Amino acid sequence: MPGEYDRIDDAAGRVLGTPVQNLARAAAFVLTVYILSTAGFMAEGWSLGDATYMVTVTIFSVGYGEVHPLDTTWLRGLTMATIVLGCTGMIFFTGALVQVFAHYQIRNILGIDRMQSQIERLTDHAIICGYGRIGKQLAIELQRARTPYIILDRNPAKLAEAEGCGHLTLKGDATDEATLRAVGIDRARVLATVLPDDALNVFITLSARNLNPRLEIIARGEYPSTEGKLIHAGADKVVLPTHIGAERIAELILYPTTAKFLGEAPQVRDLKRGLHDFGLEIEAVTVPAKSALAGATVGEAERRGNGGFFVVQIDRHNGSSYVHPAEDVKIEAGDTIVLVLRGSRVSAGSIFTQTR
């Protein structure tokens, strides 16, 4: 994967040099030998053309005959030095050329350059740290919304699965600041750390906040006691999946009418989420036959609730409906009342279920 490959590549580059650097060094060495050898032959009275030809056939080991007799110790020594140094330089040059070709072919085959290019183009994107149960669903939702995002995980199997679903990924440790920089944390809009380990989520939050003070950070917490630590570490919002799941199950048990009436359409979830941000909840209550409010008007019911709720819809048992009913509309037994609540759901719902 790009993150791990790039770190190995950088370490090797610092010790051995990059393929392009090695090619440049080998070419410079061969060129130096070529120039010095040519100058050496010219010093013996050879013309530029003869000296250049002699050095060329010597370095490339062509084996043609000598242009002029090598009848002096200087010429023989110069020729031997040209053979040794020139051939050595050509060996290194050829090896460096193969290294450059192999390096970029491997990157092309693995898609490293393509993925790196996609990462570098990301801006105002979301970073998902962890591709577990929550990370998978989060990626699906962002993909549907066409929001730019990247998944960061160190498990190759999980990343292979994510790539198979069309997600942009990077293999790496989210607690490593270099890895966070590699996914463009300085250009990101939001980071969601959704690992099942609270300690790792705290550490990632600290690192992310340090790298980008303007970043919105959403953190997952397994235990309510971790919420304060995550906020203190720099998280803007903390999500407790276990707590949310328990609330949802309790809602299905305590308020079955709401679940049946409202359903689970995306628009309903958006409505619930929007109301929750303002401290409000939506509830559906069926008025029993002996309810104390059967026969009362909407205005009378809202006054009994002391501002704890207001009626937004009445569905009659005969199929008719009143959306935003007026205060003088009467409530009948068997009606399904849709309420927007402030405060306790139990106290508001009990007003309609109390019997005479």
Give the model's pLDDT for residue 345: 52
Contact 61, 87 (CB under 8 A): yes
Cα dihedral 179, 184, 185, 188 sign = negative
Give the model confidence (pLDDT) of 175-226 as tens digits.
999 999 999 999 999 999 999 999 999 999 999 999 999 999 999 998 888 8
Give the model confidence (pLDDT) of 1-17 as tens digits.
444 445 545 544 454 56
Give the architecture-level CATH label for domain 2-115.
Answer: Orthogonal Bundle (1.10)
Query: CATH number for the 122-242 domain, one of 3.20.20.70, 3.40.50.720, 2.60.98.20, 3.40.47.10?
Result: 3.40.50.720
Give the model's pLDDT for residue 254: 57
Domain residue spans in the chain? 2-115, 122-242, 255-353
Interior/surface letters 124-160, b for 16+ CB within 10 angstroms, e for the rest:
ebbbbbbbeebbbebbeebeeeeebbbbbbbeeebbe
Give the model confidence (pLDDT) of 266-325 as tens digits.
555 666 666 666 667 777 788 887 777 788 888 888 888 777 788 888 888 787 888 888
Give the model's pLDDT for residue 2: 46
Give the model's pLDDT for residue 242: 79
Query: Which positions ≥6 away from 185 have C-beta within 8 Å?
Result: 127, 191, 208, 211, 212, 215
The first and second tokens of residue 297, run together, are 């008007």
Give the model's pLDDT for residue 346: 47
Q: Is 41 exposed, middle or buried (0-12, 13-18, 19+ CB in 10 A)?
A: buried
Beta bridge partner(s), residue 283 = 339
Backbone angles phi, psi at 236, to 5 degrees: -80, -35
186: three-class secondary structure by DSSP:
coil
Asked if residue 249 has pLDDT above 80, the reply is no
Rounded CA separation 129/155 (Å): 12
Contact 323, 258 (CB under 8 A): no
Q: Which residue has the higher pLDDT, 82 or 248?
A: 82
DSSP code, position 225: G
The pTM of the full predicted model, rounded to 2 decimals, is 0.52
Query: Amino acid identity of 63?
Result: G
Give the model's pLDDT for residue 224: 84
Asked if residue 350 has pLDDT above 50, the reply is yes
Give the model's pLDDT for residue 68: 81
What topology is assigned to 255-353 in CATH?
Alpha-Beta Plaits (3.30.70)
Rounded CA separation 115/170 (Å): 9
